[in-house]
Amino acid sequence: MKDFLPLGTIVTLKGGSKRVMIVGRLQQETNNQMIYDYSAVCWPEGMIDSKQVYLFNHEDLAMIWFIGYQDQEEFEVRASLERECSKLNRQSTSL
């Protein structure tokens, strides 16, 4: 099971120096249909251009600067995402 970070979390990625803010989870790339753990935009600028959304996986994180807002609804959504991720992992290992 993955432990997804909440939306609004600010991180840097391995090999990167610019901070990004998580704006989506379990995101599918349109070109190759790969599924990534997160999508993010530059911080503090936000989304300047829809082509500047970064897709990455949890293992690509270098540092967490700020954890986004969490409440009961966030925990419920995160549990649902974790279940979906487990299903995707089972499907990919059975191929």
Q: Does the residue 3 lie in any domain? A: no
Q: Does the residue 72 lie in any domain? A: yes
Q: Does the residue 1 lie in any domain? A: no
Q: Does the residue 2 lie in any domain? A: no
CA–CA–CA angle 28, 32, 35 (5° rounding): 30
In the chain, the number of structural domains is 1
Indicate the pTM of the whole model.
0.85
Over residues 29-52, the pLDDT tens digits come to 888 889 999 999 999 999 998 888
Structural contact between residues 72 and 26, judged by C-beta atoms closer than 8 angstroms:
no
Q: What is the pLDDT of residue 12?
A: 98
CA distance 5 to 64: 10
Q: Across all residues in the chain, what is the average pLDDT?
A: 90
